Amino acid sequence: MPSFILKEDLSFQPPEVIQARQEELLNQQIRYCREKSPFYKKQLASFPDKHYTLEDLKDFPLTSKHDLHLHNDDFIAASQRDIADIVFTSGTTGKPCRIAYTLSDLQRLAYSDATGFRATGMTPDDIALITCTLDRCFIAGLAYSMGTVKLGGAIIRNGLNTLESHADIIQNNPVTAIVGVPSFVAKLGQYLADNGVDYSKIRHILCIGEPLYNRDMSRTPLAMKLEGFWPGCVYSTYASSEMVTSFTECSTRKGGHPAADLCIVEIVDEDGNPLPPGETGEVVVTPLQVEGMPLIRFRTGDLSFLIPEPCPCGRHNMRLGPIFARKAQMLKIKGTTLYPANFFDVLDQIEGVDNYYMEVSGTGLSDEVDLYVSFREGDMESNHVKEKLLARTRVGVRLHTVAADAAHKKVFGSTRKPLRFFDLR
C-alpha cells in the first residue's frame, strides 16, 4: 500500500524526473488494471505486456462515463473486504454510479488535497470552516476535511448550514479558511458585511463546484464578488469522484496543479485525439495509485486546456486551465453556439439578482431556453435583465420571475452541489 507521506512536492523536480516517476506509476497502474479490474482485463487483452511511455498512453482506449454506468461493477478492482467507502455519482442513465474507495484511496485523497492546500499557502496553523456537505454519498466534503487534517490544520465541519450558523462560527472562532461553493460563499461574505461580523482573519477561500475563470483566464463576475470581500485570497479547485484527484491553484493563481504523482492529464478533441498545450478540448485524466476503481484515460466531459508555460511558483508539472463548460451543456440557439456560463456570468453581475437556473428543451436544430430568476431587489424590468442578456449573448431566451425560496429549493434542493442547468432535451 502506498504511504502518501506529505513531503516535498514532486512537481518541483525537473521535468525529466517527473516524467520518469509518472511512467513508473503509469505502468504500475496498467499492470494493476490487467490483474484486478474485470473491465480492463477484457479491454487491454490485446495490449502487449511491456513498459509503456507517456507518449504510448494515447494508444489506449478512452473510458467514458457511459462505460462506467453500463459496466459499473466491472470497474471495481478491490475485494469487498478492502472497500472502505462508497459514494455515488449522478447517472447518465438515471441510475447512480457507484464509486468505491479502499483505505489507501482515502489516504490518497487526503494527500491530494493536503498537497493542493499547501500550494495555496495554507499551513498547520489554519482552521478551515467546511461549508459543503460531508454526507449524502458525496466525497468532496470528506476529501477536503481529510486534506486539511493531513496538512496539520483543523476543521470545523458545519456543512450545508445557514448563513447565520456560519457567521456565528466565524464570529466566535479563529477561522482562517473557508471551503465551499463560491456562490454560497459570496452570499456568506455579503451576510458577514451586512451584519458587522469581522472576517478579516480569513485568508483562504477554497472554491469548489463552480468556475472562477473565463476561457481567457479573466475572473468571472462571481470571482470578482468574492475578491471584493477577500482580496487575493480566493482559490479555485477542480475534482471529481471518479478521478480521485484535485487540481488546486497555487499561490500565484495561474491554473490548477494536480499532485504530479497522482495523475496524468490530456486534452483531446471530439475524436479523442490528444491536443497540444494551449488548445481547448475535453479533459482526460488517468489517475495513478488508485486501488478501488482505477481508470485509464477517463473522459471527464469538461472543457479546458493545458497551460504550457512554467508556473512562477516553480512547479514543473503541466497546469490545467479553467473548466469553462461541459460538453453536454452546449447550447445551439438559432444557429449560435453558447454555454450556460454565457448567461450566468451576466446574472452574476446584476446586483438585484438573488438566484437563477436554466431549463433547456427542444428536439430540433435549435434549443429552447427558459431562464428563471429570483430577485433580492427590483424585478426583471428594473434590473434590465433582458437587455443585458441580449447585449452579451445576442440571442433572446424566455425569462421567468420566481420566488427566492422556490429558486433556492430548485438549485440546492435535489443535489449535493448547486444545480442551475436542467437539460430536458
308-365 pLDDT per residue, tens: 888 999 999 889 999 988 887 888 887 788 888 889 989 999 999 999 999 999 876 7
Can you spell out the DSSP letters for 332-378? EETTEEE-HHHHHHHHHT-TTEEEEEEEEE-SSSS-EEEEEEEESSS
What is the dotted CATH code of the domain comprising 1-326? 3.40.50.12780
Residues in the chain, total: 425
Do 138 and 159 touch, CB atoms closer than 8 A? no
How confident is the model over 283-312, as a mean pLDDT?
A: 96
* pLDDT of 273 over the 60 cut: yes
Do 285 and 265 touch, CB atoms closer than 8 A? yes
Instruction: Work out the angle at residue 229's Cα, subtended by the Cα atoms of residues 247 and 227, and round it to the nearest 5 degrees.
Output: 45
Q: What predicted TM-score, i.e. pTM, was given to this entire model?
A: 0.84
Average pLDDT, the chain: 92
Which residues of the chain does CATH 3.30.300.30 include? Answer: 330-423
Which residues of the chain does CATH 3.40.50.12780 include? Answer: 1-326
The arrangement of strands across the sheet holding 325-326 comes to 263-268, 281-287, 298-304, 325-326
What is the topology classification, in CATH, of domain 330-423? GMP Synthetase; Chain A, domain 3 (3.30.300)
What does the alpha-carbon distance between residue 230 and residue 227 come to, in Å, rounded to a whole number? 5
Provide the percentage of residues in the chain whose pLDDT is more than 70. 97
| Confidence class for position 194, pLDDT limits 50, 70, 90 | very high
